[in-house]
Amino acid sequence: MKTTTTTTLLALVLMAGAAAPAPAAPAYRCSSSTRTIDDAGYSGLWPDNWRITVRVCAARSGSTVHAYAEVRWDGPVYPTLDDPTILDGAKLRLQIKPAGKGSPLLARRDFPGIERALEHSDGQGDHNGAYRTPTITHRAGPRALADAVLLLDWHSDGHGYRAHDYTASPTV
């Protein structure tokens, strides 16, 4: 009798756990675009263009929109390894806003950690790499999207930050 009761209780506990599944993670929708960007702080003979791809992703969970961005780049080879003087500043700006032209911004966050990642090289001075932002969230109406702007301030070019816009995520 004891074994039957224990088995029955165990079965009930297992069924109760199966009846309440964990909530599913939101399904992200992403878009990707690539820009070739000149190192405006260098005007020498060697190649200095950066090929930078940004993938912007957004998902909806009820009235909350979640967004993140992934950046990949193929940069030039510089003679100095891990050169902290390539840029005077760099940041990736991730935004959430309602879909449609002229829509007001709902959320914005800058990620300056990309500067250090861009200035890092492999053992041969090649500046290729990747960076992913943390996820940002904000409540939004029925149609929202995320977009990203890469802000670069090349060392000693005298122009300050220049904005490079990337394709927004699909509407969620």
Beta-sheet pairing, 144-154 with 87-98: antiparallel
- Note the pLDDT of residue 167: 96
Give the Å distances, CA to CA, from 57 to 31, 38, 91, 101, 159.
7, 26, 18, 19, 30
| Ranges of the chain whose pLDDT falls below 50 | 3, 5-17, 19-20
Tokens 């509407």: give the residue.
Answer: 171
- pLDDT tens digits for 51-78? 999 999 999 999 999 999 999 999 998 8
